[in-house]
């Protein structure tokens, strides 16, 4: 069976980094068909919408999606529904991609690129499981209105709604417990149950689901403390499970522990194992078009694509091994460069991964 992969490069550095991942996927000579479509600001410019119906259709009819990044400051004044970020949110929601896996692994060669002391981060291998289709990101009502009560009655106010249904919490809990079971058996659920009703509800469900996983040690942590513990002693964590908003923030923090956000891949999965694979970083408009972005997060996302949506774990292993090799050879894009290593461009990094694969 030929696997169909939708390739959505998007904006900013999106095209530069996705190009390299596509070269890598193509070099593996698997039975895959790649089809590209516009998304984000690029799609808005071409077709008047950040997630045109044709792009959504292609994504829905594919086994997997390889996604670059969307967004640029120049679209910030558009109405919200036309902003590039709506494309990724729309894909997640429309395809039910509720389970976001964001591993943060420190490659030994990058111990000095991390902003933390090598002894604090060396050997780091944690997994953040972020719920991706609920929470304050999608909760309604939301908007701007005239306040009807409180100290600021009569003033304009902005408001959003944080909410989680039981099904949403149960299904992400199961993903996280299963992941922890396959790793070191430790799951930390991050919430703000000391203040938020939604979080207390989340915590109660986590405890209930944990009864089916007696082999996994479940702990709970408030998000402010988790943010601190991630920089104090990140290796204490194994799997972290958290909601959409907290997961967004903590995964950027965890990414930096690994040296650069340019190293962190991600997978977003739905119930039928369709997946969207993207680097955890954004479109980096500040470095776009210069051929200096790190393509490794996207290349590693392609490896996750092969593993989770195409069941091609041998090919995924090959890509990950090739990445380890190029790092061992001392090749570094600017974001992970340090003295004594060799600075390479985006495409040169792609060349090196291809060479290591052959």
Binding site for ligand IPM (CB under 6 A): 71, 85, 88-89, 248, 282
- Closest approach of Cβ 287 to ligand NAD, in Å? 4
Beta bridge partners of 105: 125
Would you say 76 or 166 has its CB closer to Mg ion? 76
Binding mask 248-277 for Mg ion (x = CB under 5 A): x-----------------------------
- 220 and 203 in contact (C-beta within 8 Å)? yes
Residues 6+ positions from 355 with CB-CB distance below 8 Å: none
Residues 6+ positions from 74 with CB-CB distance below 8 Å: 41
Q: What is the distance between the alpha carbons of residues 329 and 352, in angstroms, rounded to a whole number?
A: 9
Would you say 131 or 248 has its CB closer to ligand IPM? 248
Q: What is the distance between the alpha carbons of residues 133 and 128, in angstroms, rounded to a whole number?
A: 15
Q: What is the distance between the alpha carbons of residues 83 and 106, in angstroms, rounded to a whole number?
A: 33
Among ligand NAD, ligand IPM, Mg ion, none, what binds residue 287 when CB lies within 5 to 8 Å by partner kind? ligand NAD
Phi, psi of 286, rounded to the nearest 5 degrees: -65, -25
- 252 and 268 in contact (C-beta within 8 Å)? no
- Closest approach of Cβ 248 to Mg ion, in Å? 4
Residue with the shortest CB distance to ligand IPM: 85
Q: Is 350 annotated as a binding residue?
A: no
**Peptide bond between residue 141 and the one before it cis (omega within 30 degrees of 0):** yes
Q: What is the DSSP letter of 220?
A: E
Q: What is the distance between the alpha carbons of residues 311 and 346, in angstroms, rounded to a whole number?
A: 28
- Closest approach of Cβ 87 to ligand NAD, in Å? 8
Among Mg ion, ligand NAD, ligand IPM, none, what binds residue 22 when CB lies within 5 to 8 Å by partner kind? none
- Closest approach of Cβ 82 to ligand NAD, in Å? 13
Q: What is the distance between the alpha carbons of residues 53 and 37, in angstroms, rounded to a whole number?
A: 11
Among ligand IPM, Mg ion, ligand NAD, none, what binds residue 284 when CB lies within 5 to 8 Å by partner kind? ligand NAD
Among ligand NAD, Mg ion, ligand IPM, none, what binds residue 281 when CB lies within 5 to 8 Å by partner kind? ligand NAD
Would you say 68 or 71 has its CB closer to ligand IPM? 71
Among ligand IPM, Mg ion, ligand NAD, none, what binds residue 283 when CB lies within 5 to 8 Å by partner kind? ligand NAD
Please give the positions annotated as active site: 137, 192, 224, 248, 252
Q: What is the distance between the alpha carbons of residues 151 and 85, in angstroms, rounded to a whole number?
A: 34
- 3 and 35 in contact (C-beta within 8 Å)? no
Q: Is 317 annotated as a binding residue?
A: no
Q: What is the distance between the alpha carbons of residues 152 and 130, in angstroms, rounded to a whole number?
A: 35
- 301 and 255 in contact (C-beta within 8 Å)? no
- Closest approach of Cβ 189 to Mg ion, in Å? 20
Q: What is the DSSP letter of 13?
A: T
Q: Is 170 annotated as a binding residue?
A: no
Q: Is residue 88 within a helix (H) or strand (E), and if so which, with residue range?
A: helix 85-94
Q: Is 203 annotated as a binding residue?
A: no
Q: Is 19 annotated as a binding residue?
A: no
Q: Is 175 annotated as a binding residue?
A: no
Question: Can you give the binding site for ligand NAD, defined by CB under 6 A?
Answer: 13, 17, 69-72, 85, 88, 261-262, 278, 281-287, 293-294, 297, 335
Q: Is 205 annotated as a binding residue?
A: no
278 binds Mg ion (CB under 5 A): no
Among ligand IPM, ligand NAD, Mg ion, none, what binds residue 89 when CB lies within 5 to 8 Å by partner kind? ligand IPM
- Closest approach of Cβ 346 to ligand NAD, in Å? 8
- 269 and 233 in contact (C-beta within 8 Å)? no
Contacts of residues 175-178 at CB distance under 8 Å and 24 or more positions apart, as own/partner, are 175/99, 175/129, 175/241, 175/269, 176/129, 176/239, 176/241, 177/209, 177/210, 177/212, 177/213, 177/216, 177/218
Binding mask 210-249 for Mg ion (x = CB under 5 A): --------------------------------------x-
For the annotated binding site for substrate, the residues are 92, 102, 130, 224
Residue ranges of the binding site: 92, 102, 130, 224, 248, 252, 282-294
């Amino acid at each position: 069976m030929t696997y169909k992969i939708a390739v959505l490069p998007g904006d900013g550095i999106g095209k530069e980094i996705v190009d390299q991942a596509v070269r890598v996927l193509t070099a593996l000579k698997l039975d895959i068909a790649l089809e590209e479509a516009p998304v984000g600001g690029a799609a808005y410019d071409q077709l008047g919408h950040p997630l045109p119906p044709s792009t959504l259709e292609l994504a829905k009819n594919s086994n997997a999606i390889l996604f670059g990044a969307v967004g640029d400051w120049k679209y910030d004044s558009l109405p919200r529904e036309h902003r590039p970020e709506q494309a990724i949110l729309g894909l997640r929601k429309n395809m039910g991609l509720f389970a976001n896996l964001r591993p943060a692994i420190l490659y030994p060669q990058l111990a000095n690129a991390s902003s933390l002391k090598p002894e604090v981060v060396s050997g780091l291998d944690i997994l953040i499981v972020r719920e991706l289709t609920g929470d304050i990101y999608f909760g309604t009502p939301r908007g701007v209105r005239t306040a009807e009560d409180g100290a600021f009655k009569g003033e304009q106010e902005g408001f959003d709604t944080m909410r989680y249904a039981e099904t949403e919490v149960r299904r992400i809990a199961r993903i996280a417990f299963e992941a922890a079971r396959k790793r070191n058996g430790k799951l930390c659920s991050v919430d703000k149950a000391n203040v938020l009703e939604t979080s207390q509800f989340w915590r109660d469900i986590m405890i209930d689901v944990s009864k089916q996983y007696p082999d996994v040690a479940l702990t709970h942590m408030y998000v402010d403390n988790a943010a601190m513990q991630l920089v104090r002693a990140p290796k204490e964590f194994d799997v972290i499970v958290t909601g959409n908003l907290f997961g967004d923030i903590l995964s950027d923090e965890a990414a930096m522990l690994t040296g650069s956000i340019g190293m962190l891949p991600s997978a977003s999965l739905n119930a039928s194992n369709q997946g969207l694979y993207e680097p955890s970083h954004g479109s980096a408009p500040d470095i776009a078009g210069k051929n200096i972005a790190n393509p490794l997060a996207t290349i590693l996302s392609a490896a996750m694509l092969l593993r989770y949506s195409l069941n091609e774990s041998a090919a995924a292993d090959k890509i990950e091994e090739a990445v380890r090799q190029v790092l061992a050879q001392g090749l570094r894009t600017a974001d992970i460069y340090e003295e004594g290593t060799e600075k390479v461009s985006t495409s040169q990094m792609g060349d090196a991964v291809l060479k290591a694969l052959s």
